[in-house]
Amino acid sequence: NRQWVLRQRPMGLIKPGDLELVEATLPDLNDGEVLIRTVYLSLDPTNRTWMNDTEGYLPPVPLGGVMRGLTLGVVEESRSGRFAVGEVVTTAAGGWSDYAVVSDREASRVHRAPGLPLTANMSVLGMTGMTAWFGVTDVLKPRAGETLVISAAAGAVGSIAGQVARAHGARVIGIAGGPDKCRWLTEELGFDAAIDYKNEDVGDALDRLAPDGVEMNFENVGGDIMIAVFNRLKVHGRMAVCGLISAYNATRMPPSPNFGRIITHRLNLQGFLVMDYAPRAKEMVTGMAPMVVDGRIKWKVHVADGLEGALDSLNRLFTGDHDGKLLVRVSEE
């Protein structure tokens, strides 16, 4: 059984040696435990934040500990009354490993959507879809005709959030890196406009596309991109603070907006965490699955093969060198 363990806390992008792939023997099962064979490992920007020894929403991964991660896998052995051998489950308790022994309370049964591949449960109808759905419908609550700006818009969360907001009547402007990602947003996903932050000034582009300002921001990036949008929020504007990916590898904190605008423009900034919405997962499935099944909501996964490549793959999230929700295929379905 191979597993990735954290050897030292990375500075900047993760480097070889920060984590190590080791062989480890599996413990015997106790009552109430299951042995899960990992099929897909979800790579998420927040994985990088768990490597830092800073106060977060979860404790840091300890040095020498198995790297934490969300996985989907098959129950291979069971001493649980809840799960039979062969069932497909997700868990955040196993981490970056071929196999894991976890308590049955830490695993959830996967309800496969008819006609969709299992990767949907690890993306558009999984944690990614939950983040997009609740960030839009519960935090921002768009009204018809309002304009929403989304950063990292061609990414896993951003691309779904934009489509959900459009389904709720909003006008959506996406910010993404490069002409191909921007074209995908406007030509395939139906975004009203896209800004290529690598080739144009975000503030100038917003002034051109929304000269009177914008009502909403779904923020995934932080730093200068966030400031450009924040400075164009209208009176009573709303911001869903979902992620600040530009800060995750930073050794110095990126610049912050001028909070005076929160007062002058009576802005509402709300951070949120998808894990708080776990009890409401059914709402997301009811609201979104029909649109996913009939193709109104489009989604992509980028599957990298092999647990051994997980570390290099994670860095793709920070360079943008991936096309859709990033997953590692650890073993065959």
Contact residues for ligand NDP (CB under 6 A)?
44-46, 131, 152, 154-158, 176-177, 181, 220-221, 225, 242-243, 245-246, 272-274, 317-318, 320, 322
The residue among 264, 270, 213, 222 whose CA lies nearest residue 246 is 222
CB of 200 to ligand NDP, least distance (A): 13
Q: How far is Cα 267 from Cα 96, in angstroms, rounded to an integer? A: 40
**Cα-based distances in Å from 303 to 5, 14, 270, 310:** 22, 20, 32, 11
**Judged by CB, which is closer to ligand NDP: 4, or 134?**
134
CB of 226 to ligand NDP, least distance (A): 10
Q: How far is Cα 39 from Cα 227, in angstroms, rounded to an integer? A: 39
Q: What DSSP assignment string belongs to 98-157?
A: SEEEEEGGGEEE--PPTTS-GGGGGTTTSHHHHHHHHIIIIII---TT-EEEESSTTSHH
**Judged by CB, which is closer to ligand NDP: 158, or 237?**
158
The residue among 253, 191, 192, 262 whose CA lies nearest residue 230 is 262
Q: How many Cβ atoms sit within 10 Å of the Cβ of residue 260?
A: 8
**Judged by CB, which is closer to ligand NDP: 26, or 318?**
318
Ramachandran category for residue 329: left, alpha or beta (phi over 0 → left; psi -120 to 50 → alpha): beta
**Judged by CB, which is closer to ligand NDP: 78, or 131?**
131
Q: How far is Cα 327 from Cα 69, in angstroms, rounded to an integer? A: 11
CB of 306 to ligand NDP, least distance (A): 20
**Judged by CB, which is closer to ligand NDP: 94, or 162?**
162
CB of 79 to ligand NDP, least distance (A): 32
Q: How far is Cα 11 from Cα 267, in angstroms, rounded to an integer? A: 34
- Local structure of residue 329 (DSSP, 8 states): E
CB of 241 to ligand NDP, least distance (A): 8
CB of 278 to ligand NDP, least distance (A): 11
**Buried/exposed 181-218: b ≥16 CB within 10 Å, e otherwise:** bbebbeeebebbbbbbbeeeebbebbeebbeebbbbbb
| 8 A C-beta contact, residue 123 and residue 325 | yes
CB of 239 to ligand NDP, least distance (A): 13
**Judged by CB, which is closer to ligand NDP: 164, or 176?**
176
CB of 225 to ligand NDP, least distance (A): 6
CB of 307 to ligand NDP, least distance (A): 19
**Judged by CB, which is closer to ligand NDP: 45, or 69?**
45
**Judged by CB, which is closer to ligand NDP: 101, or 242?**
242
Burial of residue 264 (CB within 10 Å: 0-12, 13-18, 19+) is exposed
| 8 A C-beta contact, residue 152 and residue 243 | yes
Helix (H) or strand (E) holding 297, with range, is none
**Judged by CB, which is closer to ligand NDP: 254, or 287?**
254
